[in-house]
Amino acid sequence: MGTEPGGYRHFSGSRLVIASHNAGKVREIGALLAPFGVETVSAGALGLPEPEETGDSFEANAELKARASALASGLPALADDSGLVVAALGGEPGIYSARWAGPEKDFSAAMRRVEEGIAAAADRSAYFVAVLSLAWPDGHVESFRGEAHGRLVWPPRGTRGFGYDPMFLHAGRDLTYGEMDPDEKHRISHRAEAFAKLVAACFA
């Protein structure tokens, strides 16, 4: 399990912790990993606590969560930190995207808050960011970033996806992430881009 010549450490195990308590993220990441024959288990299923996200970037928070789960479980762990970056809100909610939904994780309220903030703005552009961090129990970590650009619509459309998906229209598409078939979203999303980089570096 050494570092490869290209600088990345290759994943050679068969079991991986998905360092998340978010059922939607666990489902998406599990589906992306399925073709590689990797058995996944969520941090929630293992009873691992959610560490406080004290980082000041998507990368810092993803690495913090991945390292915490890897250390606690003794297994490699994959964490995702993602969020919505809205131009008219000065980049918010950004790394605080989940917190905008409050302790009840009410993303309907979070989407309303975003809409209220940009209702009078001419610029409705936004993009999703996802950073995937793969950590090993010895503390080594690799991180990969993906972005998906588009604009926000109102009212929200569709019941698929999770989080802010129903109000996000990917550039060049007619369906929001909330309306889109999950397989299609997996091909074009911010998480898919980050995952493609992860696979090329650590699983190929």
Pairing label, strands 77-86, 125-135 = antiparallel
Residues 6+ apart with CB under 8 A from 121: 88
> By the 8 A CB rule, do 201 and 8 touch?
yes
Of 80, 81, 165, 174, catalytic:
81
HEC profile of 77-92: EEEEEEEEEEHHHCCC
State residue 152 phi and psi, 5-degree precision: -100, 140
Nearest to 162 by CA among 182, 147, 146, 148: 182
Please say if 81 is a catalytic residue.
yes
Any idea which residues carry the catalytic annotation? 81
